[in-house]
Amino acid sequence: MTSTQDAATAAAAPGTFAPAPGDEWWRTAVIYQIYPRSFADSDGDGIGDLPGITARLDSLADLGVDAIWLSPFMVSPQKDAGYDVADYCDVDPIFGTLADFDAMLARAHGLGIRVIVDLVPNHSSDQHTWFQQALASPPGSPERARYIFRDGRGENGDLPPNNWESVFGGPMWDRVTEPDGTPGQWYLHIFDSSQPDFDWTNPEVREQFRSVLRFWLDRGVDGFRIDVAHGLIKKDGLPDYTPPADGDSMGGDDDDVPYWGQPGVHDVWRDWHEVAAEYDGDRALCAEAWLPTPDKTALWVRPDELHQAFNFPYLTTEWDAAPLRTIITESLRAFPAVGAPSTWVLSNHDVIRHASRLALSGESPQGEGIGPLSAAQPIPELGLRRARAASTVMLALPGSAYVYQGEELGLPEAVDIPDSARQDPTWFRTKHEKYGRDGCRVPIPWEASAPAFGFNATGASWLPQPASWAEHARDVESRDPESTLSLYRQLLAERRAHGLGSATFTWLDGFPATVLAFRVDDVTVIANLGDSAVALPDGRILIASEGFTGRELPADTAVWLVAS
């Protein structure tokens, strides 16, 4: 370092962190999320399916992932893209059959790829047999006790039981018409009105889901991603609650929400842990739990509960060295302290793709999506540059990492989806005030010159694909050694070769405050999040997120170094 740089240097967060002991596969795995509707379509109807996934698994083996996680493919009316389940033990016909699932599972296992299934225990579809039985049964019946039905407030019960607002907009309660035609009770739905919440204080609900777990474990799945894992238990009495005006609707920034993070939910996960332990092969349970800090999140992965929890505080951290240093430090302390690995994730099917999110022209409207009229618009070249650097940092961190389909191609958020094509229930329930999640769910491109960019052979696509995505098609990027796909292949290969997922992590001092610098095993990682180039220490450049010459690391660039 030069004397000028020394004068501008701020000490990096101190500390060395060792991972929790254990050799289970899920402690270090890179897990690739498949959103089945948008991965690959074998029959040309415009919606991805299980045979399409099977046909494209070779590409994931070539990428170097350890496992795949499939968003829901169970029987569903698809009012929330499959997160409204009508039958938990069968495949929806738009995705194929159980035989197709078994074939996909066998092919994945043959390639050395494990398979994690998405499970939605907080709520069902209103078309689920149980809910239809509840509607046909009287108040106080066993059928209604499977869900959260309550009498309304006011003289005639015309007001909802409390003031809770749905995550998707509007009231969290809908009133039913009783079998005799009179206005009746109200039922709770954290999300859309077509997604009634189960009552998890009911032993029948708990036993039903034990059966669901065993159904898929018996078929050979390697684990479950658990949707809304912090939402199953509601506070006694269902008290009124008004969230902060600028709060996170999923509860990630509030410690006292009566329908998020209630203590009783941990009994459910202890029960599921015991079910998973009945099976050989280190079956994994991963929580989608939006909680404000790593310490809070770590409560979900204590030794007798779940095995992983998504590190959403990391995902939502801005592109700034100081807060990133803090969240990495807190994560590497909090999760191993309870015997679990930290997880790392930058994109998924619910958030703005990080190739756009990391370079918005204004504040990120996370949870609301972005569209052509949003105040904050992405800056494409800067976003991709930062996304490549962020991924280079993330894939060096010890623990388990999640990759969302298409991020390995550098896909940005699809912003210019016509209003008439949008399908997210958030768009409709907020009367078009919030764009929702369609922009990160557009079918991904495979071949630049093929119909629907190779998503299928007919050109049909349930959401329109941007014309600019031709340059991101997998066949184009496969031929380009400087592409994002080539970067990801190299990152995953070297991560495995150097054992970074299970290595000890050490922060390095002596760098500007705008730099992240750390060592993992024999790899030194330097990421420049500032505006000016910084001098690199000694070492051979193993990987760089961007090409450059000399020993000055450009802005928004990250490198892995090894001894010369």
Residues marked active site are found at 227, 288
Q: What does the buried/exposed string (b/e) look like for 132-153 if buried means 16 or more CB atoms within 10 Å of the residue's CB? A: eebbebeeeeebbbbbbbbebe
- Residue 414 identity: A
- Residue 64 identity: G
Write out the DSSP string of 258-324. Answer: TTSS-TTHHHHHHHHHHHHHTSSS--EEEE----SSHHHHHGGGSTTS-SEE--HHHHT--S-HHHH
Give the chain's end-to-end CA distance (angstroms, integer).
18
Distances in whole angstroms, Cα of residue 291 to Cα of each of 228, 249, 250, 299, 332:
11, 11, 8, 10, 16
Q: Which two tokens stand for residue 28?
A: 């270090």
Residues 6+ apart with CB under 8 A from 117: 69, 70, 216, 221, 223, 224, 225
CA angle, 285 then 289 then 294, to 5°:
100
DSSP state of 386: H
- 525: β partners: 518, 560
Rg (CA), the chain: 24
Q: Which two tokens stand for residue 24?
A: 């289970």
